[in-house]
Amino acid sequence: MFQFDNSYARLPDRFFASVYPEPVEGPELLRFNQKLAAELGVEADLSDPDRLAAVLSGNVVPQGASPLAMAYAGHQFGNFVPQLGDGRAILIGEVMDRAGQRRDIQWKGAGPTPFSRRGDGRAALGPVIREYVVSEAMHALGIPATRALAAVSTGELVQREQEQQGAVFVRVAASHVRVGTFQFFAARGDTEGVRTLANYVIERHYPDLMGAQNPYLALLQAVADRQAELIARWLGVGFIHGVMNTDNMTISGETIDFGPCAFLDEYNPMKVFSSIDRQGRYAYRNQPGIGQWNIARLAEALVPLIDADEEKAVGAANSVLKAFGDTFQAHWIEVFRAKLGLVTARDGDGDLVQGLLSAMEENEADFTRTFQALCNAAEGHDDDLLACFADPSKLREWLPKWNERLAEEGRSPADVATEMRGVNPWLIARNHRIEEAIAAANYGDFSFFEKLVEALEKPFEERPEFADYAIAPTAEQKVARTFCGT
């Protein structure tokens, strides 16, 4: 089924634990991502769903697999844990996709591993559905993210706060190497381990850096740049990751671990959804600062490789960290300029964007709907936009400034609106719709899940059959909290 070429398994033994999945009672295929399978060159016999479910649940280990759990450490909510590791995920192996990119295939929830600590190694159906929906939604928005190859129910129950149905999620990633993977070796004083890992990720993710004068400093810089851009793009669609621990930040620059994540409904930069984030550490607007903090942890791990002279190494790493804010800001303004339909850069654009955002904040305007309505306003129809604001007075002051700025660029309103519709999604993965899909799935009805996935495949297209998914939740529908479900 898979043409494996497993490079991680060839790394030294201390990088992982070889482990086989624990078979489940009654695997049933919930959803299989055929498009992604084709992209990966995975040959799946859809006429035999039982066999497919057996492989995708881990009951049957496919030929050529070298199943393993990766070792990693990480800062969780600021506290360092020297050993985390894949406690409920097993890397099946790697394939080269049709574009020649190496991709990891992983079972999530396939049973205990040596890294499980007190956990059961399992995943509950709800979180699997959330991860499937949101990771595919992110991809459709054009934002780098791990992908969903399949979801399988296990026919078993898992004990959480309440008993829940079990499921296995099959995840695809450019790789599962995290900031925390570097921290794992660094915390043990295993500089050779850090070096082996750094060489591995340079070859896999940043091959252009192989000839760099200082490849390890260049690696730090490259990871920082990708994360700065990624976070700017999250903010552009109102995404809150929810658990930006260093073990949940990839080296590849893909969004990973869709636990208590959520998209904003009304715009509130202080917004936190995650039930475990009591201090608001990972609030919407804190994400760039946390990104920089996480990159600082990567820098600490890389210092011994950057220069034999520690002082020099720290100085060089610090200059990368210092630049993070400006790099992020540059990406952020690029994202928001495009959302406003602007193609050139002018001083004062930052203030223009902030002017709109603060009017939105004061009015608790729906983030996605406001930017959609702004596309119409670019063509001179501002009724929808005004309707997004309880008190549109601030907006009325702002609109002429924006119109003047657009006029300076001299493009036709129709062209501006069309381009804006290409960057401002018509729909996002709204929390209340995800909750609805999960609630129905728990009663054995997967139709809401199916329809939601279908709706989110083309987020920039206005499709009347999915109109319900585009509108903001009513006060009763609004979801206040999201849960990890681990």
> Mapping DSSP to helix (H, G, I), strand (E, B) and coil, where does residue 153 land?
strand
- The residue (of 175 and 248) whose beta carbon lies closer to Mg ion is 248
Count of residues in contact with ligand AMP, rule CB under 6 A: 18
Helices and strands of the chain, counted as H and E runs: 16, 12
CA distances from 469 to 219, 220, 464 (A): 40, 40, 10
- CB closer to ligand AMP, 171 vs 421: 171
Task: Indicate whether 86 belongs to the interface with Mg ion (CB under 5 A).
Answer: no
Q: What are the φ/ψ torsions at residue 378 (nearest 5 degrees)?
A: -65, -25
Q: Is 277 a residue that touches ligand AMP (CB under 6 A)? A: no
Would you count residue 114 as binding ligand AMP (CB under 6 A)? Answer: no
Of 154, 175, 183, 248, the residue at the interface with Mg ion (CB under 5 A) is 248
Q: How far is the CB of 308 from ligand AMP (least distance, A)?
A: 33
Q: Does 259 bind ligand AMP (CB under 6 A)?
A: yes
Strand partners, 69: 17
Stretch that binds Mg ion, among 245-253, 313-321, 348-356, 458-466 (CB under 5 A): 245-253
- The span from the CA of 407 to the CA of 403, in Å, is 6
Query: From the list 88, 103, 233, 433, which residue makes contact with ligand AMP (rule: CB under 6 A)?
Result: 88
What whole-number distance in Å separates Cα of residue 273 and Cα of residue 252? 26
Q: Are 430 and 239 in contact (CB under 8 A)?
A: no
- Token pair belonging to 95: 């394939």
Shortest Cβ distance from residue 117 to ligand AMP (Å)? Answer: 6
Q: Which residues are catalytic?
A: 247
Q: Using CB under 5 A, count the residues that bind Mg ion.
A: 2
Q: How far apart are CA 170 and CA 110, in angstroms?
A: 10
* Least distance CB 247 / Mg ion (angstroms): 5
Rounded CA gap, 380 and 203, in Å? 51
Q: What is the CA radius of gyration of the chain?
A: 23
Q: How far is the CB of 74 from ligand AMP (least distance, A)?
A: 8
- The Cα 75–Cα 55 span in angstroms is 33
Nearer to ligand AMP, 88 or 204 (CB): 88
Write the Ramachandran bin of 134: left for phi over 0, alpha for psi from -120 to 50, otherwise beta: alpha
Q: Pick from 104, 136, 254, 257: which binds Mg ion (CB under 5 A)?
A: 257
Minimum separation from the CB atom of position 52 to ligand AMP (A): 24
364 to 403, contacts with Mg ion by CB under 5 A?
A: none
Q: Which two structure tokens, joined as six digits, stand for 83?
A: 């050993």
Stretch that binds ligand AMP, among 240-248, 364-372, 377-385, 459-467 (CB under 6 A): 240-248
Separation between Cα atoms, residue 196 and residue 102, nearest integer Å: 18
- Judged by CB, which is closer to Mg ion: 257, or 366? 257
Is residue 85 close enough to count as binding ligand AMP by CB under 6 A?
Answer: yes
Q: Which of 27, 44, 58, 86 binds ligand AMP (CB under 6 A)?
A: 86
Place of tokens 């100085």: 315
Q: Does 121 bind ligand AMP (CB under 6 A)?
A: yes
Instruction: Report the residue number, 234 or 469, with the smaller CB distance to Mg ion.
Output: 234
Q: Indicate the residue among 112 and 341 with the shorter CB distance to ligand AMP.
A: 112
Q: Does 165 bind ligand AMP (CB under 6 A)?
A: no
Give the residue with the Cβ less far from ligand AMP, 77 or 404.
77
Give the integer Cα–Cα distance in Å for 317 and 221. 9
- Binding flag, residue 181, Mg ion (CB under 5 A): no
Contact status, residue 214 vs residue 306, Cβ threshold 8 Å = yes
Q: Is 120 in the site for ligand AMP (CB under 6 A)?
A: yes
Residue type, 83: Q
Please tell me the distance from the alpha carbon of residue 138 to that of residue 237, in angstroms, as a whole number: 9
Two tokens, residue 106:
């992983």
**Interface residues with ligand AMP (CB under 6 A)?**
84-88, 115-116, 119-122, 243, 247-248, 257, 259, 484, 486
